[in-house]
Amino acid sequence: MESLNLITLAPMLIAIAGGLIILILDLINDKLDKSLYVMLTLLILFIDFGAVLGLNVNERGFFDVILIDGISIVSQLLVIAGSMLFIPLALTSKRFHEFEYPEFFALFLFMIAGFQFMVASDNLILIFVGLETASLSLYTLIALHNRSNSYEAAVKYFTMGALAAGFFAMGSAVIYAMTGSIELYQVSQILSARMSGAIDPVPLIGVLGSSILLMVAFAFKLSLFPFHTWAPDVYEGASAPLAGYMSVVPKIAAFVVSIRIFGMYIDLGVEWVRDIILILAILTMTLANVMALVQQDVKRMLAYSSISHAGFIVAALALDTTEGNTAIFLYYALFMFTNLGAFAMLWISRHKVRRFNNRYDHPYEKFAGMIKIMPIGAVMMGLFMLSLAGVPPFSVFWGKIYVMQAAIDAGFVWLAIIMGLNSAIAAYYYLKLIVYMFLMDPVKDVDTVYYNISKPLMVIIGLAAVATVAAIFYIQPLISYIYYMISASGY
């Protein structure tokens, strides 16, 4: 309470300072190449990563609004790791508009700082500020991809994001009205006292209202059914790596806040919050799977698949056990490599103009017979697809069985069975791409697949592939670390 403990702010400040440095460099000399900015961003993220690693667990700082507990450290590390994987994808062989702006990199770093604020606080106002900083930067990053449907995507995302922000603010307001506090740890104490009737009882409508409003806000952010409709369009409009990034990193941050808020409700004994989350989770994974089946564009398929995976993970959130919360981060840590790898594979075949189809950038036909044209690329994409489908021993399989095991452990065997059946449905659309790549004849020339490839992209994809294949070897330390961190912070 007494100390400012500024060290807890250091990681975010590093990211912000990095963004400012990039802007200043641009002021001094505006002819600098994007490779410089990419590497600078990487280095800043590297320092940021180190700063997060150096934090002590369970500290508060800056007048108690910053909370550095286990989940905030783990999630910050994941956010930064995901960003470090993403940013070298800017180094394509073809010039793409957005990466020519130094502002892209500055905004990117501001966004990361926003996510870090969001996860490192249990103060609803600071969470809101972090959320908005990150989201506004992200809208801009999408729009920078300079195509008409990118603008559409950015505006769509902005509108939906603004709506979600509104719901979040209203939900927080109701919480404040009930408890007179916006600090979640105080909120939970006061709410539990009022709900048990120790001090003047809280009206049920208040608990109901606040949780519903907040749930809507996070259902938007996590793209849960029925608030998921923006996701495929936004992913399609955004550049492929950014879409992959959006399917992982912002969701990690949103999950942290969800764990803090909804975990609190479930701990308070508001069982129907759990029920609603479970219903949302099941609807999300099932319906997104069904939608993914009928997509004609690989990118949209991957968008729906990301939604379905999010549904999977939300189910773990509803369990509100240490295993369940561990499963969330473990799943994203494993999913991150595979999914970013898959989106990066789309990125290397990105064209300035659509060559196959007036509507889609990445129709399935584009990948037909890829094994004959680009065998290594096809094998890698095949690996990513198998991993997403949950075929062992690839990375996502271990996340899946951990989630399912956590569900069984918490007594939800039926949930595990639904998850299993959903994985089976999902296998079909991943398999469809594999069938196109391996079993069909090519309908295009070499240029369509190799178009945008460069050495840095190959390195990133190779890294993602190694992380996907070799998951069995690093999964144990990863679980131990995440589990330790989560249980240390009492979730």
Partner 1 sequence: MENILSILVFFPAVAGLLGFVIDKKSTRAYGVTVAAIEFFMSLWLWFAFDTANPGMQFVEIIPLIPSYGVTYYLGVDGISLFIVIMATFMTMIGMMSMSIKDDIKNMVVTLLFLEMTMVGVFVALDAIMFYLFWELSLVPMLYIIGAWGGPLRIYASIKFFLYTFTGSLVMLVGMLFMAYVYHNLTGVWSFAITDWYAMVLPLNYQLWLFAAFFIGFAIKVPMFPFHTWLPYAHGQAPTIGSVILAAVLLKMGTYGFVRFSLPMFPDASVMAITPVAFISIIMIIYTAMVAFAQKDIKQVIAYSSVSHMGIIMLGIFSMNAEGITGSVFQMLAHGIISGGLFMLVGMLYDRLHTKDMSKFGGIAAVMPKYAVIFGIFTMASVGLPLTMGFVGEFLVLLGFYKVSPVMTILAGTSIILGAVYMLTLYKKTFFGPITNDAVKKLKDLTPLELWSLVPLVLVIIWLGVYPKPVLEPIDNSVKAMLTFMHKKAITPEAKEIIEVPQTTMEVK
Interaction residues for partner 1, span 362-421 (CB under 8 A): 386, 389-393, 398, 401-402, 404-405, 408-409, 413, 416-417, 420-421
- What is the rounded CA–CA span in Å between residue 177 and residue 167? 15
Contact between 234 and partner 1 (CB under 8 A)? no
Closest to partner 1 by CB, 201 or 375: 375
Looking at the Cβ atoms of 166 and 411, the one nearer to partner 1 is 411
Q: How far is the CB of 407 from partner 1 (least distance, A)?
A: 9
Q: Which of 475, 485, 486, 489 binds partner 1 (CB under 8 A)?
A: 475
Q: In 229-321, which ranges are continuous DSSP H helix?
A: 230-237, 240-246, 249-267, 271-293, 298-319
Residue in the structure block whose two tokens are 């609803």: 124
Note whether 470 binds partner 1 by CB under 8 A.
no
- Work out how close the CB of 394 gets to partner 1 at its nearest, in angstroms, rounded to a whole number: 9
The residue type of 245 is Y
Tokens of 80: 């930064």
Residue type for position 395: S
Determine the interface stretch with partner 1 among 85-93, 273-281, 358-366, 469-477 (rule: CB under 8 A): 469-477
Distance CA 146, CA 305 (A): 26
Question: Rounded to whole angstroms, how far apart are CA atoms 487 and 489?
Answer: 5
- 3-class SS at 3? coil
Nearer to partner 1, 36 or 431 (CB): 431
We find the least distance from the C-beta atom of residue 382 to partner 1, in angstroms, to be: 8
For partner 1, give the closer residue by CB, 208 or 425: 425
Among 77, 479, 485, 486, binds partner 1 (CB under 8 A): 479
Nearer to partner 1, 24 or 417 (CB): 417
204 belongs to the binding site for partner 1 (CB under 8 A): no
The radius of gyration of the chain from alpha carbons, rounded to an integer in Å, stands at 22
d(CA 38, CA 44): 10
10 touches 51 (CB < 8 A): yes
Per-residue three-class SS string for 409-436: HCCCHHHHHHHHHHHHHHHHHHHHHHHH
272 binds partner 1 (CB under 8 A): no
- Residue from 32, 287, 435, 463 binding partner 1 (CB under 8 A): 435
- Of 74 and 90, nearer to partner 1 (C-beta) is 74
483 touches partner 1 (CB under 8 A): yes
CB of 121 closer than 8 Å to CB of 182: no
Q: Is the CB of residue 311 less than 8 Å from the CB of residue 284?
A: yes
Q: Which residues bind partner 1 (CB under 8 A)?
A: 386, 389-393, 398, 401-402, 404-405, 408-409, 413, 416-417, 420-421, 423-424, 427-428, 431, 434-435, 438-440, 472, 475-476, 479-480, 483
